[in-house]
């Protein structure tokens, strides 16, 4: 049972465009939703995260939109750059006494110059 579903599997965007990656979750106990960026051969790097008490969080060119009723959240990368080309993972956790992350399957982003 996949608790976090991520789409699309791959994405090609032109430089300067907007990249949008979507995730849906099933467990209403999740209360923390991070996005990670991973380059080949490297570990995942925390990019941005949101808690369900807000609907949007922005950090630089990266924005998370969160829809609690639909159980969906998305990552928007504005002004996408070739250096953003990587695999992006959404994740969710219940935090507190557990805190292990449940990851989506990832989206491979390619930004064309």
Partner 1 sequence: DTGVSQNPRHKITKRGQNVTFRCDPISEHNRLYWYRQTLGQGPEFLTYFQNEAQLEKSRLLSDRFSAERPKGSFSTLEIQRTEQGDSAMYLCASSYQWGYEQYFGPGTRLTVT
In the complex, the residues that contact partner 1 under the rule CB under 8 A are 6, 32, 34, 36, 41-46, 49, 89, 91, 93, 95-106
Nearest-approach distance from CB 4 to partner 1, in angstroms? 8
CB of 102 to partner 1, least distance (A): 7
* 83: helix, strand or coil: helix
**37 vs 80, which CB is nearer to partner 1?**
37
Alpha-carbon gap, residue 76 to 14, rounded angstroms: 14
Phi, psi of 65 (to 5 degrees): -110, 135
- Of 41 and 83, which CB lies nearer to partner 1 in the complex structure? 41
| Helix, strand, coil percent content, the chain, rounded in steps of 5 | 5, 55, 45
- Output the smallest distance, CB 17 to partner 1, in A: 25
Tokens 């969080």 map to which residue?
57
Q: Is 71 helix (H, G, I), strand (E, B) or coil?
A: coil
Residue the block writes with tokens 């996949």: 2
Q: Considering beta carbons, is residue 69 or 100 the nearer one to partner 1?
A: 100
Q: In angstroms, what is the minimal distance from the CB of 50 to partner 1?
A: 10
């Amino acid at each position: 049972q996949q608790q976090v579903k991520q789409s699309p599997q791959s994405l090609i965007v032109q430089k300067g465009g907007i990249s949008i990656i979507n995730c849906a979750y099933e467990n209403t106990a999740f209360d923390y939703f991070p996005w990670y960026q991973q380059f080949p051969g490297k570990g995942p790097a925390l990019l941005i995260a949101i808690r369900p008490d807000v609907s949007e969080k922005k950090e630089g060119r990266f924005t998370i939109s969160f829809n609690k009723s639909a159980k969906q959240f998305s990552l928007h990368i504005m002004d996408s750059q070739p250096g953003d080309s990587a695999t992006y993972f959404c994740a969710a956790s219940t935090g507190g006494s557990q805190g292990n992350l449940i990851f989506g399957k990832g989206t491979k982003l390619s930004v064309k110059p």
